[in-house]
A and B are shown apart, each in its own frame.
Chain A
Amino acid sequence: MKKILALVLAMMLVLSVSAAFAEKAGEGITIGVVYKQSGNPYFQAGVTGFEEAAGELGFEFMHDGPDDGSSDGQIRIIENYIAQGVDVLCVSANDPAALVDVCNEARAAGIKVISWDAKVDAEGRDLDVEPASAKVIGVTQLDSLVNSIGGEGQIAILSAMATAPNQNLWISFIKEALESGDEKYAKIELVDTVYGDDEYTKSFNETQGLLDKYPDLKGIIVPTTVGGPAVSKCIQDAGRDVKVTGLTLASDMKEFIDAGIADETFLWNPIDLGYASSYAAVAMAKGNFTGAVGEKLECGRLGELEVTESDDGGSILFLNKLNSFTKDTVDAWVDIL
């Protein structure tokens, strides 16, 4: 009798354990994560995103990056992952072109290739996972500044080089939003766009020019990491009540966020990138997601995301959620970004 009872109990245990395992979608899947450089806090944060998703999905992953940030180091690591027979590669490429051949070899061996954070060219990947579309990047900064200045007043933009393609694209979406006739932008006037060439001193001087020229200026959008601290420092020195937002490093902006010059600034979130890449990887390995344009993917806490066409002709998955640094959150990011 005791034996039968023990047997029944043991069977129940086995069943419940296997049931618990079966619930996890990524069981038995191995992901090889390759990032640009080992020891880089940005990618260590990215790895915590993979860890978080591994806890939810139950897959296993390995991660590595070359110490010199070279492409041939990444090729070595990818070759090792191919030899180990991983199911999916998630690569943040040091060079979009150099990794194409080795990634295609991996794909020929039945391995899915996802690039995250920094793309592999379209012909060498199945999907690219990136923070946000140009439109979201532009409009998020605009909305934050509009909020900061109470929805009313003159604003300006300090960009990088006049020819910088990314910045120009973001700015075009900011202008598009302002001209869209949306009620919340009705009392906002974009008075000027100046260029700091990603140099601290030039950015500082251009800001001084803006402050002199527009005595009623209420806010500046700075979509470049070099410009953020230069603009903020200039405003602080001038003692003006002008708000700053933009794409900045948390470490650069902490003192200005604490001083109230900036209420909120933004950058990518490597944790979310790793997390979303994991969900895409598991879905691909399971075969119920191919990464084709128009497909939708359930990404855990990030909700449902849609694959769109990338400007290089491949497919891309945007998280469309920027990482926001405010008085409350900036401290946690200072050592990472």
Chain B
Amino acid sequence: MQKVKSFLKSWEFFLILLLVAMCVVFKITDASRIAAGLQKKPIFYFANVVRSMRPYFLYSFMTLGMMLILAMGDIDISVGAIGTLSVVTLGVTYNRLAGSAEGGSPMALVAALAACLLVGALCGALNGFLVTRFKELFPMIITLATQLFFRGFSYLIIGGDTLTFKDPTFKSLSNLNQLLKFGDLQVPISIPIYLVLAVVFYFWLHRTGNGRKIFAIGTNASATYYSGVRVDKIKFWCFVIAGFMSAVTGIFFVGNSSSSVKADIMDGYHMYAIAAAVLGGFSTDGGKGSVIGATISLVIFGVVKFGLGTLFGFPDSAVNLSVGVILILSVLGPNLVEDIQNRRKVAQRRAETARLNAAKA
């Protein structure tokens, strides 16, 4: 009973309510649009929504990395650019190794993927090194600098060109964009892969000592340090993991782009990752948040963007306003509730004091 009560008070429960409420609004809109003759067939039904989550789960892996950083009270805005540099490495390495081999070379692809993930981790390591070595600088500024560096470096390597690959081996990356068919249901392959990783992250972050140390750092880094935790080491590795997850995101992005690589991709993806993590309960203050919350948030943002774009006719450039509105409300909401509760308490005490004073007199 106690467990149920605390669940009903939890942030995750609120997010589920928000998701359900949005689905209801969209479902009603869908039905009324059909009734009004504005569309021929339903748009907002389960199979269609699941299938359309694909673009919004591209950055889900990046969100997992971002959770670690935010839990420590830091921020990393270079994750999008790390993804770009990683996939540029992927493309260039594959071209170099496979050369003009007939039908492509699977070995070259494995090596190129390894290089891609390694570069992602190395970029993260650079961030981690700078953040732990130069504590007087905000991580925001450091990762702003490395972001510009990584993106500039990507342009230096391949310029404004698109690297395209015609051979079937490299094209097999398009499989990452596949839809798994279960009857009428088409599930983007990134969703089950994300869920597996999310379970791993969940147990690591919330169920192991090392994971709890990450939250402890975010709550009070000095206290954590003086209680014997090697703060810098943990920080460093969290940035490495965030970089690695960006490279993973990048590989999925290549699959999504018909197996082509460009230097301007994933611009702004760090914002999507941060937004999903923050709505999931993480904050730049550190010390809180949950993998489950962030996962629900990914779905919320996907659903609201899909609904606004298809049912409300929002242009693609405007759907992000929903992210802003939801974020502000979700951050302000709890604060407002707390504020009102505090005021009520103060008013009660005043009234009580006044009553006592009156009684004395």
Contact = CB atoms under 8 A, between A and B. Distances in A.
Contacts of A99: 258
A102 interface: yes
Interface string A58-76: 0000101111101111011
Interface string B170-181: 000010010000
A74 to B, nearest CB: 9
Size range of the chain B interface in the assembly? 20 to 34
Contacts of B253: 72
Contact of B316 (A64, A97, A98, A124): A64
A79 B256 CA distance: 11
Contacts of A70: 264-265, 267
A143 to B, nearest CB: 35
Interface stretch (B40-48, B112-120, B201-209): B40-48
A65 B316 contact: yes
Contacts of A62: 313
A75 B48 CA distance: 16
Interface residues of A, number: 29
B231 to A, nearest CB: 37
Contacts of B41: 85
Interface string A234-273: 0000000000000000000000000000000000000000
B183 to A, nearest CB: 16
A80 B309 contact: yes
- Of listed A30, A77, A101, residue having the most chain B CB within 10 A: A101
B257 A84 contact: no
A212 B342 CA distance: 86
Interface in B289-335: 306, 309-310, 313, 315-317
Interface in B26-43: 39-41, 43
A100 interface: yes
Interface stretch (B15-23, B50-58, B71-79, B222-230): B50-58
Contacts of B105: none
A98 B258 contact: yes
Contacts of A97: 162, 164, 257-258, 260
A27 B55 CA distance: 32
A77 B257 contact: no
Nearest to A77: B316
Contacts of B315: 38, 64-65
A84 B39 CA distance: 9
Interface string A272-284: 0000000000000
Contact of A84 (B43, B259, B260): B43
A95 interface: yes
B134 to A, nearest CB: 32
B262 interface: yes
A172 to B, nearest CB: 25
A72 B87 CA distance: 15
A83 interface: yes
A131 B139 CA distance: 50
B264 to A, nearest CB: 7
Q: Tell me if B's interface is mostly helix, strand, loop or mixed.
A: loop
Contacts of B54: 79
B268 interface: yes
A98 B310 contact: no
A76 B58 CA distance: 11
Given A68-B267, A95-B162, A98-B257, A80 B306 contact: yes
Contacts of A71: 257, 260, 262, 265
Nearest to B257: A98
Given A72-B55, A73-B316, A83-B52, A101 B177 contact: yes
B150 to A, nearest CB: 17
Interface string B130-161: 00000000000000000000000000000000
Contacts of A72: 55, 58, 253, 256-257, 265-266
B40 A79 contact: no
Given A95-B262, A101-B174, A75 B257 contact: yes
Contact of A66 (B164, B177, B317): B317
A101 B54 CA distance: 13
Contacts of B313: 62
Nearest to B40: A85
Nearest to A67: B317
A75 B265 CA distance: 13
Interface string B77-96: 00000000000000000000
Contact of A100 (B40, B258, B265): B258
Interface string A151-179: 00000000000000000000000000000
> Which of A70, A73, A98, A102 has the most B CB atoms < 10 Å from its CB?
A98
A101 B258 contact: yes
Interface in A84-117: 84-85, 95, 97-102
A226 B107 CA distance: 46
Nearest to B38: A60
A44 to B, nearest CB: 13
Contacts of B48: 83
Contacts of B52: 79-80, 83
A19 to B, nearest CB: 20
B20 to A, nearest CB: 21
A77 B309 CA distance: 8
Contacts of B259: 101
Contacts of B310: 80, 83-84
Which 10 A-B pairs have CB atoms at the shortest separation, nearest pair first?
A67-B317, A101-B258, A98-B257, A97-B164, A100-B258, A97-B260, A76-B55, A80-B309, A98-B260, A83-B52
24 contacts: A30-B40, A38-B317, A62-B313, A65-B315, A65-B317, A68-B268, A70-B264, A70-B267, A71-B260, A71-B262, A72-B253, A72-B265, A72-B266, A75-B257, A79-B55, A80-B316, A83-B51, A83-B52, A84-B43, A84-B310, A95-B257, A97-B162, A101-B257, A101-B259
Interface of A: 30, 38-39, 62, 64-68, 70-73, 75-77, 79-80, 83-85, 95, 97-102, 124
Given A76-B55, A101-B256, 13 more contacts: A38-B315, A68-B268, A70-B267, A72-B266, A75-B55, A76-B316, A77-B316, A80-B310, A83-B43, A84-B43, A95-B162, A97-B162, A98-B257
